[in-house]
Amino acid sequence: MRSLALAATLVLCLLAPAAASANATLETGIADDDIVLKSPSVAAGYAADWAAAGVDDVRVHVGWREVSPDPSSALPPREFRPSDPDTYDFAALDRAVRVLREHGLHVTLGLWGPAPVWASQDPSRKDGRWKPSPAYFKAFATAAARHFAADVDRYEIWNEPNHPLWLLPQRSNGALVAPHLYRALVQAATPAIHDADPGATVLMGALAPSGSDSRSSGAAVRPLAFLRSMACVDSRYRALRTGSCKGFSAPAADAFSLHPHGIKLSPDAHPRSRDDAPLGALGHVEAVLDTLTKAHRLKVLGGPARFPLHLTEFAYQTNPPDRFLGVPASTQAAWLSRSAQKAWGDPRVRSLTWYVWKDGPLGRNGSGWQSGVLRADGTAKPSLTAFRLPFVASTRSVWGIDRPGAAHAVTVEGRRSGGAWRTLAALQTSATGAFSRRMSVPRDVREVRAVGDDGTTGLAVRVR
C-alpha cells in the first residue's frame, strides 16, 4: 500500500505545474566594479557569463571624485561647468555600460562619494567625505543622468551613507549628523535626475546593515536609527522640528535600497539590535519604512503607497580565505539559495544583487572582499552552482529558480545516502524560471536536488 501511495504522489507531481511565482518581478543582480571598471580586457567575457547565469542587472558605481577634474584641489577649475557631462571623465564608465548593454544586461548606476575636495563644504579638511555640497551633487547627478540617459534608467543615490567610509561626520558631540547630510543629497539629486532622464527610477537608502551605538563622530550609525533621523522623528516616531529638522520636508524617491549583509548571520537570523538591518530583519525594515511613509516623513514617488525595495548589495564571504568574517563555502552556497528564496517570497523586493562575482586579493590584514562565487584564481566555489540554480528543499516542499529566467522543465531527484539518484517529480517552472511545490519526500530519501532541462544540476540538499 505504501508503494502505491508513493507512486500516486509521484504521478500527481509529474502532471501538475509548479506553483505560480510569488514574485514575478524579482531581478537577479551582480555588483563587481573590479571586473566592470578595472578589468576592461576581460569584462566582456564576464558579462557573457553573467547573462548565461541569469543575471538581469549590474550595479556600477560612478565615483564622483574619480570622474571629476582636479579632485584634490580646494577649488574646481575655472572653466568647470558642473552640470555639463562633457566636463567629467566618463570614458571608463562608457566602456563598461556599453559592454553590459551589448550582452543584454540592465545597468543600475550608483552615484557615490567621496566627493572631490572642492565639493566639500569644508575643503580645508581635504576630505571629500566631509559634508559634500548638495548643490554640487545636484549638478553631478544632472550631468550623469544626461550622459547615460540612453542606456540607464535606474540610479542609486550614494553608497552606505551611514558608514564613515563614505560620509562624514556621522555624529557631532554625540548627535547624528550624517542622516541630515544625506537627506539634503537626496532632495538635491532626485528631482535633478528626473529632470535629466524622465522616467528613470531613483533609489535612496543604500544603507549598510549595521552600525554602532558609539557617540564617536566616525562610528557607523545603525541603519534604522539613521532612517528615523533622516525622517526627523525620535525613537518613538514623534516629529522633530528644531535644529537640523527645522523646516523639514520629506525626502523622496521612487524606491528604497538596502545592503542587508548578514556577515555570519544566516538569512533567517535576527540581529542583536532592532536598529540593524540584515536580511533576516527585512520585515521590520519594511514596517519602519511604512510607518515613516504614512506619517509623511518619507515620500514614495511614481504611484505606489509603499516603497519597492532593491537589495543592491548582498553576500557572504567565505573561509577560506577570510578567516575572520567568512563562513564555510558550503554554508555560503546554502545561504545564497535561502536568500534568493526569501527575496522571491517578498513581493516588495524588486532585485537582489550579489556582491561580488570573483574574490579580490586577500590583503595582509584580511582586507579585500571574499564573497565571490569564484575564487581569486578563477576556480568555482559551490556557490556558483547555487547562483545558477538556487534550490531549497525539506521533507515537505521544494523551491528553486532555474536560470536564466524563462519557462523550464525541472526534474526533482532524490537518493539514499550515497545511492543512485531517482526522479521524484517533474515540474514546469513559471515564466521567470521559478518553481515552488509542496510535496512529500519518500522516507528513504536523504538528499534532494533539482536538474534543469539543459542539464544544469543544482547542489544536493540534505532533507534528513
pLDDT per position as a tens digit, 122-150? 999 999 999 999 999 999 999 999 999 99
Instruction: Tell me what pLDDT residue 367 has.
Output: 61
Q: Write the burial class of residue 320 (CB in 10 Å: 0-12 exposed, 13-18 middle, 19+ buried).
A: exposed
pLDDT per position as a tens digit, 340-365? 999 999 999 999 999 999 999 876 55
Q: Averaged over 386-390, what is the pLDDT?
A: 97
pLDDT per position as a tens digit, 25-84? 899 999 999 999 999 999 999 999 999 999 999 999 999 999 999 999 999 999 999 999
CATH class of 25-389: alpha beta
Instruction: Tell me what pLDDT residue 89 has.
Output: 98
Instruction: Tell me what pLDDT residue 12 has.
Output: 38
Q: Averaged over 442-448, what is the pLDDT?
A: 96
Give the residue from 372, 276, 280 showing the smallest Cα distance to 332: 372
Higher pLDDT: 191 or 406? It is: 191
Which cell numbers hold the place of 119? Answer: 565639493
Residue 20 pLDDT exceeds 60: no
- Measured from the Cβ of residue 438, the count of other Cβ atoms closer than 10 Å reads 11
Q: What is d(CA 35, CA 29) in angstroms, rounded to the nearest whole number?
A: 14
- pLDDT band for position 164 (cuts 50, 70, 90): very high
- pLDDT band for position 10 (cuts 50, 70, 90): very low
Instruction: Tell me what pLDDT residue 4 has.
Output: 35
The ranges assigned to domains in the chain are 25-389
Residue 258 pLDDT exceeds 70: yes
Helix axes 223-230, 282-294, angle to 10 degrees: 10
Q: What is d(CA 88, CA 94) in angstroms, rounded to the nearest whole number?
A: 12
Residue 219 in contact with residue 212, Cβ under 8 Å? yes
Residue 1 pLDDT exceeds 50: no
One-letter-per-residue 3-state SS of the chain: CHHHHHHHHHHHHHHCCCCCCCCCCCEEEEECHHHHCCCHHHHHHHHHHHHHCCCCEEEEEEEHHHHCCCCCCCCCCCCCCCCCHHHCCCHHHHHHHHHHHHCCCEEEEEEECCCCHHHECCHHHCCCCECECHHHHHHHHHHHHHHHCCCCCEEEECCCCCCCCCCECCEECCEECHHHHHHHHHHHHHHHHHHHCCCCEEEEEEECCCCECCCCCCCCECHHHHHHHHCCECCCCCECCCHHHCCCCCCEECEEEECCCCCCCCCCCCCCCCCCCCHHHHHHHHHHHHHHHHCCCCEECCCCCCCCEEEEEECCCECCCCCCCCECHHHHHHHHHHHHHHHHCCCCEEEEEECCCECCCCCCCCCCCCCCCECCCCCECHHHHHHHCCEEECCCEEEEECCCCCCCEEEEEEECCCCCCEEEEEEECCCCCEEEEECCCCCCCCEEEEEECCCCECCCEECC
